[in-house]
Structure 1
Amino acid sequence: MSLSPSPAAGTPGAALAQLPVRSALPALRDALDTTGAAVLCAPPGTGKTTLVPLELAGLTGEGPRRRVVVAEPRRIAARAAARRMAWLLGERVGDRVGFTVRGERRAGPRTAVEVVTTGVLLQRLQRDPELAGVDVVVLDECHERHLDADTCAAFLLDVRAALRPELRLLAASATTDAEGWARLLGGGEPAPVVAATGVSHPVEVVWAPPERPVAPPHGMRVDPALLAHVAAVVRRALREQAGDVLCFLPGVGEIARVAGQLAGVDAEVLQVHGRAPAEVQDAVLAGGGGTSRSSDAEKGGGARRVVLATSVAESSLTVPGVRVVVDSGLARVPRMDHARGLSALTTVRASRAAARQRAGRAGRQEPGVVYRCWAEGEDGRLPRFPDPEIKVADLTAFALQTACWGDPTASGLALLDAPPAGALAAAREVLTAIGAVDAAGRATERGVRMARLGLHPRLARALLDGATEVGVRRAAEVVALLSEEPPRSYGDDLAAAWRTARRGGDAYAARWRQETRRLAAAAGEPERGPGERRGPAAGGAASEDAVAGLLAALAFPERVARARGAGSYLMASGTGADLAGAGAGGRAGDGSRLRDAAWLAVAVADRPVAAASARVRLAAVIDEETARAAAGALYSAGEEVHWADGEVVARQVTRLGAIELSARALSAPDPGLLRDAVVEGLRREGLGLLRWTAGATAVRQRMAFLHRELGAPWPEVSDAALLERVEDWLGTELGRARRRADLARVDAGQALTRLLPWATGEAVRFEELAPERIEVPSGSRVRVDYGGEQPVLAVKLQELFGLRESPRVAGGRVPVLVHLLSPAGRPAAVTADLASFWRDGYRAVRAELRGRYPKHPWPEDPSTAEPTRHTSARLRRG
């Protein structure tokens, strides 16, 4: 976006003439007139956000008059773009150029260019898919891949294909996947890509890593040592360079901390983020940070400025006067923990693309410098691009939008990236539970109303159903508090934060009051939610604590939580939740009144990396009745039979999700549940619970041998296979077992024979194919060991005299490995080819052993000798 130079630095006419994007306008007009869609790639500062919409609307004296809507990803960018374009026309905002953001609209009947947020554009498309009266839509900063922007693009392409083929669509960005967007906008043939060159100045890179290692970011936490280092680098930049300094930090909390550490610097320290008051944002972006700055500027001087900003300043905004950038290397992005049902912002390393965008801020007007607070060697390991929101964020709002659009699965939408199936399924479960969609995923009337409130569906549910219980105004006040997390100084108690916001005079309180008015007007006459009932704890003249708790529980029913001791709770989702310890900013810890509550409605929670439980950031005290009323869909009652501590435990249990409300022992549980519990025990503790005699182990080894050598129909008997078919071979015993001792009496070998192929008749050949014993020439029946890779027959050498070939099993396919033993039973030789042994190996064994065992026969030709189990003397006596 071009917001430079400031109005004080030149005239509107001169500024319009100097914008570099002007050279690309003929090609852009031709592309839009020919195909109706185009991609504009233009570096920051070229005028793509300011001059292009004015030209397309015919407000600069060229081309026909059209109505243009420009969609920006952020409110701060929408207001700034409108203000800049109005200045270029020499007008006030609200005349021919206006803007609309959530809760604020400045536009009139003459407005030809209207800048809106992508969220506002989505609302308009749902109400009026034709966008009556709109000729051109510009999707600005599309490279940021915000979910609302991607959704807008998909809906607009639907509109062009089905309703308004004449609607022109332009995707604009400083750096983007131009080919991908061209394919998306063009459908069959890629849309034209128009490139504009900008005036760029060289930017020197200074690598400024911390001297000592710092902890990597996790969750919302950033190592204070890194923030102290960033503040030190800002001080260094002020000493070494001229001009204003723009410092990138991940969030509002980090900005406040670094601002505190810069106290006393010879510069005005300013803050730019989405929560800053609009007048502060406007003053910073117009080139003056406040009255002192403006006064100095009028005198021709002016103090230097240090602007601490979030990633909002990467591409959507230009901060005039900046010659130096200090980059912390961090960004804050949305992430959804589907396993825990927690959606929150998290801190990550910024991508290389973001780092390039940030560095470019220093070279907008003349050569600049960027100080990067990481080592040069780490740069190549950074991700190349940021993740598209559709891949990582909570998709509940997206799923409701697509359901209202008539495509619940989003399969018919033109999207650069398809939504993950698991995340979309989880979102649809939430929507079904709150009555926003039906069983087929289609939006209900209630769902359509929710979508039009401009809230996350969870908060829309709380507003509509809460208004029925506590009144529109009070419901709007609490939901407004939930829609933007209060400052840390408000504490972790939602009801107390509500009271603080009511009497507060800070910027947050002002925004809260504005949002409350919007929500109260949008809610109108409340409706009663499906299946909801008026709770005595929340209705009528309920206390603020009860109202806050009910609203939080309605928004996040799976987060109602019951105490389990020492500030620890279990949420209905099954996730643990711990109250945060005492910390900076007045964050309540051991002294929090939440700590003594039996039940909580958790409104905001995050999960520290590697932590078993979530951390409660904002919650309200509730009672069990409120929890059950708000989370009624999670209530269940029934028999629970499971394996625990070596026995079956059978109980009649009532639950609220994972929270156990009551339980009593069952004397006669369902037989099927009993069997399932025993199977659970076997799978958890293993087949060793059964009685495995030597004979049972031998049977299993013989079956394993036949499966390995012959395959079907001989069954696999590995642990995994047996546990998979446990019902087939332990069916009777499962029905009688109740504890570990019962299973220990089960003869596993006998049970295993049930798996033999009786149905095909092959089972009768089990002994033939894998005989337990083999009769040798001496008449002995010797056991075969099937425990190794090849069956083993261990027998005294003299007992095999006269046997010319090795015995075979598996229908003659597999020779037995013969372990020939001395008269004392010690191994003398091993062979799988007995004939070869008699011919070649016997002589050496005979020579070695005949002197040691002279009483036993050692014939010269064992293949024709008489086998024996006895000594030579006994043979003679016989």
Structure 2
Amino acid sequence: MIRYDVLDALPVRSVLPALADALAGDGTAVLVAPPGTGKTTLVPLVLAGLAGLAGDYPARRVLVAEPRRIAARAAARRMAWLLDEKPGESVGFTVRGERVVGRHTRVEVVTTGVLLQRLQRDQELAGVDAVVLDECHERHLDADTAAAFLWDVRQALRPELHLVAASATTDAEGWARLLGGAPVVEAAGTAHPVEVVWAPPVRPVRPPDGMLVDPTLLTHIASVVRRALAEQEGDVLCFLPGVGEIARVAGQLGELGEVDVLQVHGRAPAAVQDAVLAPGERRRVVLATSVAESSLTVPGVRVVVDSGLAREPRVDHARGLSGLTTVRASRAAGRQRAGRGGREAPGTVYRCWPEAEDGRLPAFPAPEIKVADLTAFALQAACWGDPDASGLALLDAPPGGAMAAARNVLSAVGAVDSAGRATRLGVRLGRLGVHPRLGRALLDTSGAGAEAVALLSEEAPRDYGDDLAAALRRARRGGDAYARRWAAEVRRLRSASSGLSSPSAPNEHLRVGAGTAEGADERLTGLVAALAFPERVAKLDGGSYLMASGTRAEVADGSALRGAPWIVVAVADRPTGKGHARVRLGAAVPEEVALAAAGALLGEHEEVRWAEGDVVARRIRRLGAIELTVRPLKDADPTLVRDALLEGLRQDGLGLLRWSREAEVLRQRLAFLHAHLGEPWPDVSDDALHARAEEWLEPELGRARRRSDLARTDAGQALARLLPWANGEAARLEELAPERITVPSGSRIRIDYQDPERPVLAVKLQEVFGLRRTPTVAGVPLLVHLLSPAGRPAAVTSDLASFWTDGYRGVRAELRGRYPKHPWPEDPTAAEPTRHTTARLRR
């Protein structure tokens, strides 16, 4: 008996005529309807002609695509209940590892991942009349991809296929454009007002760090839940980022008397999911992930407690790491969550962050295509016949860098050819329903690795630990919802890989082999992880592990992996502010298996470089960035030695050469000429000499083999090669920048060119008597330091004529009493210059 009373009360019913008109036109529509209006349940029944309402469509077969398994099951059960049937009759569902449909099923709810698999096997979707893509606003990558493929199907093969993009809140105009100008049909909700209570922690908490959330915040959230129970009526729905946080808050809430505490997430048992989605006999606290934002309707909720956190995929291409990370939830998500409190009556939302921070939150969640690992997406596109996804109808184009990284992975596992087209192996991998890396590991082990692949394809509970082998044994023992799903996935993978294997012949080192059951587990998990993530094979190096990719990783204190000579890092994240990754799931692996699985990264090469102040020449066998063996290299390539020496000069400076006094003076003279005359006189600064090192240090560089050879190189002799010999200007060096200058006394005094802007002539005052003008070099007046008879500075001038007139009298008065044996004429311009005392002059 159809529950007409419930159907009649669903707000979306008022827009069914408009939806029918839209689909009668071009066959596409964008349906925007708030949560709880019936878009997920009534619309598919009407499209299939099952609702028994006036204006129903004729009998049709409808696919409804949901982003999550829990939502797919819940939607199918709800529709079956509305028809007073059981799932599998008129309405059924298919999720990975579970299929509940019958011969007479007309509405089938599937996950978007399942829909993609069907489209790859049967692009026409034979027998399907309409597809509803639900919760488009969440922008999951599979949903975006499915929408693009379905549009291709309508354009090329099935123009009669009806397509509805349905969402609680979405970019309606964007989806309408994407679907060729589809009409937008909007249904009003029945939301009641929701009061906002700001409930930030009293003390500052640390921001999310990868998958870690400050325990202080979780304690605060538990206290806010208790506060909400005391201050408000009705059930409480608390949003938390993940399963681990839900378990911690549940543990802190403990016993709440007459209140039931339920945990809702993708791993929750079906019985718990059913209990949450049905009215409760007692008051309830429902701890949920973002799955409850729009995909599920939880009856009885009057109060929402929002942690303000969410989990989103992220990929670190530089370190080759990807996975979920904890982020601040967007303002759009906040509105969705708050709205859950006003579904049935006026409600309240407690927001666990300061009101001042709300405006700084992102407006919308990031589309997965912008931030996630695109390897699976790139394989889907390649199998669809559009390797670069340029022809797909997508709201956001995939980032070029992420696609390039994805293609590199696909090429490495043999899934695509040099043009990016899917190979036969790639098509097989695309149909296994797991990440291409894991699919390749499954095929390489001929299905023997199904247990480990299943464990890696869905994040295991945190209390399973970080040792993949121990987690595998824990899953085998069963006893929880994850283990049951894992067992179902193992069966599915064994069935999917039956009769399939990798085209590459298995290496003897890659066989699991005999031994104890525990030893076989260790070898199997290590093998599968190494085959799936060869660049994450890691060797113990000091206190951390160095991956073949070059990234360092650390394992937690007390980890079973700690101290293992070799591991494979299956899951890792990078804590904020740290350069090392943190291993969250990995496997110990024998060295021979690590080398065989990551064999493509093995290589031997000669390395000649400047290190620790000298040339180091070695022959190195590497696994990616990991050094396996190192041997001294005696006959190194001279070109590589030359490059290492040049690098040494850049790092440690030109002081590696032998700089005699003459060489230093020559460099100073050349610097002076370049500063004042420019070309052809060379620039002899450090940067300029490094740039021209091969020019002025030949043939010395060709003969040198190590630092000691550089130390024997006469820098002055080498530097002379930079003089402008070609045009004859080099011969004018002594004329333009003489090393010494003859003063009136006959002495040849050295010019100090340390300051190229103003060379200095330091000379005793008596030796320049009679010199009326300041000497110059290259037209630049020297800065004359006039010295006392003892060689101490007495005066500094760049204008001797002015000094004799204005300054000499004071210097004479000061020094004549101190040095009476030396001449101090009243008119120095007419006096005879001398290097001697007055007595000697008389003789």
Bin for the TM-score computed over the shorter chain: 0.7 to 0.9
The match for 2:753 is: 785
Q: What's the CA shift for 1:859?
A: 6.8
2:376 paired with 1:397: yes
Q: Distance in 1 between matches of 2:476 and 2:781?
A: 89
Deviations 1:164-185, CA, capped at 9 Å, x for gaps: 4554444332233344444444
Q: What is the CA-CA distance between 1:525 and the residue it aligns to?
A: 1.2
Query: Residues of 1 paired with 2:161 and 2:775: CA distance?
Result: 87
SS at match of 2:443: helix
The residue that corresponds to 1:117 in the other structure is: 111
- Matching of residue 202 in structure 1 with residue 193 in structure 2: yes
2:216 corresponds, among 222, 225, 239, to: 225
Alignment of structure 1 residues 241-280 onto 2, 5 Å? 241-266=232-257, 267-280=259-272
**Cα deviation 1:140-163 (Å, max 9, x = unaligned):** 222222222232333334444444
Aligned position for 2:8: 17
Kept in 1, the 8 Å contact 2:556–2:562? The answer is no
Determine which of 227, 234, 239 is the counterpart of 1:236: 227
CA 1:646 to 1:229, structure 2 compared with 1: closer, same or farther past 3 Å? same
How many residue pairs get aligned? The number is: 823
Alpha-carbon distance in structure 2 between the residues aligned to 1:552 and 1:598: 16
- The letter of the residue matching 1:657 is G
1:329 is aligned to 2:308: yes
Match of 1:76 in 2: 70
Contact 2:743 2:749 in 1 (8 A): no
The one-letter code sitting in structure 1 at the alignment partner of 2:132 is: V
Name the SS for the 1:419 alignment partner: coil
Letter in 1 for 2:574: R
Instruction: State which of 519, 522, 533 in structure 1 corresponds to 2:507.
Output: 533
* Partners of 2:506 and 2:660 in 1: CA distance: 60
- 1:600 alignment partner, SS class: strand
Q: For residue 567 of structure 2, what is the aligned residue in structure 1? A: 600
Q: Would you say the 8 A contact 2:132–2:165 is kept in 1?
A: yes
Mapped partners of 2:751, 2:461: distance in 1: 79
Tell me, in whole angstroms, the C-alpha distance in 2 between the residues paired with 1:867 and 1:175.
102
CA distance in structure 2 between the aligned counterparts of 1:174 and 1:696, rounded to whole angstroms: 80
1:579 counterpart = 2:579: no
CA distance in 2, matches of 1:875, 1:29: 125
The one-character-per-residue Cα deviations of 1:70-102 (angstroms, maximum 9, x if unpaired) are: 322211112222222333344433344332221
Once the two structures are superposed, the pairs formed by residues 756-835 of structure 1 within 5 Å of their partners are: 761=727, 764=730, 767=733, 771=737, 783=751, 785=753, 787=755, 790-792=757-759, 794=761, 816=780, 818-824=782-788, 826=793
Secondary structure (helix, strand or coil) at the match of 1:317 reads coil
Deviations 1:839-876 (A, max 9, x none): 8x97544565464578567879x8xx999787998999
Q: Is the 8 A contact 1:777 1:867 kept in 2?
A: no
- 2:819 aligned partner: none
Render the CA deviation track for 1:392-438: whole Å, top value 9, x for unaligned: 22222222222223333334434333333333322222222221122
Distance 1:77 1:710 in 2: 80
* Number of the residue aligned with 1:294: none
Is the aligned partner of 1:637 residue 2:614? no
Report the counterpart of residue 450 of structure 1 in structure 2: 429
Paired position in structure 2 for 1:459:
438
SS at match of 1:822: strand
438-447 or 502-511, which moves further after superposition?
438-447
Conservation of the 8 A alpha-carbon contact between 2:762 and 2:787: no
Question: In the alignment, what sits opposite 1:282?
Answer: 274
Report the secondary structure of 1:535's partner residue.
Answer: helix
Which residue of 2 is the match for residue 476 of structure 1? 450
CA distance in 1, matches of 2:286, 2:643: 64
Task: Tell me if the contact between 1:247 and 1:306 (Cα under 8 Å) persists in the aligned partners.
Answer: yes
Q: How does 1:863-878 map to 2 (within 5 A)?
A: none
Letter paired with 1:253: G
SS at match of 1:332: strand
The CA deviation string for residues 258-298 of structure 1, in whole angstroms up to 9 with x for no partner, is 1111111131000111111223213212334xxxxxxxxxx
**Distance in 2 separating the partners of 1:666 and 1:805:** 61
8 Å Cα contact 1:647/1:738 also seen in 2: no
CA 1:749–1:191 in structure 2 vs 1: closer, same or farther (change >3 Å)?
farther
Which residue in the other structure is 1:297 paired with?
none
Q: CA deviation at 1:227?
A: 1.2
What's the offset of the Cα at 1:536? 7.0
Per the TM alignment, residue 108 of structure 1 is displaced from its structure 2 partner at its CA by 4.1
Residue 249 of structure 1, CA deviation:
1.1
**Superposed displacement of residue 345, structure 1:** 1.8
Q: Is the 8 A contact 1:549 1:621 kept in 2?
A: yes
CA drift of 1:309 comes to 0.6
Residue equivalent to 1:626: 593
Q: Aligned AA for 2:613?
A: G
Kindly tell me: are residues 337 and 683 of structure 1, through their superposed partners in 2, closer, same or farther at Cα, counting changes over 3 Å?
farther
Amino acid at match of 1:578: E
Q: Counterparts of 1:573 and 1:398 in 2: how far apart (Å)?
A: 23
Within the candidate set 527, 534, 538, 1:550 is matched to 527
Deviates more, 1:795-804 or 1:747-756: 795-804
Task: Check 1:784–1:559 CA distance in 2 against 1; reply closer, same or farther (3 A cut).
Answer: same
Q: Is structure 2 residue 341 aligned with structure 1 residue 369?
A: no
- 2:642·2:702 contact (CA, 8 Å) conserved in 1? yes
Partner Cα distance (1:688, 1:51) in 2: 83
Compare 818-827 and 379-388 and name the one that shifted more. Answer: 818-827
Aligned AA for 2:265?
H
Residue among 577, 581, 586 paired with 1:614: 581
Distance 2:140 2:768 in 1: 84
In structure 2, relative to structure 1, the CA distance for the partners of 1:575 and 1:830 (3 Å cut) is same
The residue type paired with residue 579 of structure 1 is V
The answer to whether structure 1 residue 427 and structure 2 residue 406 are counterparts is yes
Shift of residue 598, structure 1, vs aligned partner? 3.0
Contact 2:132 2:166 survives alignment (8 Å): yes
Name the CA distance, whole Å, in 1 between partners of 2:232 and 2:305.
12
The amino acid of 1:505's aligned partner reads: G
* 2: CA distance, partners of 1:682 / 1:370: 66
Structure 2 residue aligned with 1:812: none
Q: Is the 8 A contact 1:857 1:871 kept in 2?
A: no
Give the aligned residue type for 1:548: T
* Deviation string, structure 1 residues 41-90 (Cα, Å, up to 9, x no partner): 33222333233334444544434555443322211112222222333344
Q: Render the CA deviation track for 1:592-627: whole Å, top value 9, x for unaligned.
A: 3x4453333333333333344333333333322211
Instruction: Say if 1:58 and 1:843 are closer, same or farther in 2 by CA, change over 3 A.
Output: farther
CA distance in structure 1 between the aligned counterparts of 2:507 and 2:694, rounded to whole angstroms: 45
Equivalent position SS for 2:509: coil
Aligned to 1:563: 540
Task: Evaluate the alpha carbon distance shift between residue 867 and residue 33 of structure 1 in structure 2; reply closer, same or farther with a 3 A threshold.
Answer: farther
Q: What is the identity, as a one-letter code, of the residue corresponding to 1:319?
A: V
CA pair 22-536 structure 1, distance change in 2 beyond 3 A: closer
In structure 1, C-alpha distance between the alignment counterparts of 2:240 and 2:265, rounded to whole Å? 10
**More moved, 449-458 vs 711-720:** 711-720
Does the 8 Å CA contact 2:672/2:753 hold for their aligned counterparts?
Answer: no
Q: Give the alignment's Cα RMSD to 1 decimal.
A: 3.8
Segments of 5+ residues of structure 1 without an aligned counterpart are 1-6, 289-301, 583-588, 810-814
Q: Distance in 2 between matches of 1:842 and 1:113?
A: 111
- TM-score normalised according to structure 1 size: 0.84
What is the deviation of 1:631? 1.1
Aligned AA (2:260):
E
Aligned to 2:142: 148
Map 1:126-141; keep pairs closer than 5 Å.
126-141=120-135
Paired letter, 1:174: A
- Equivalent residues of 1:776, 1:800 under 8 A apart: no
Seq. identity, %: 64
SS at match of 1:153: helix
- 1:602 alignment partner AA: V
C-alpha separation between the residues in 1 aligned to 2:390 and 2:735? 56
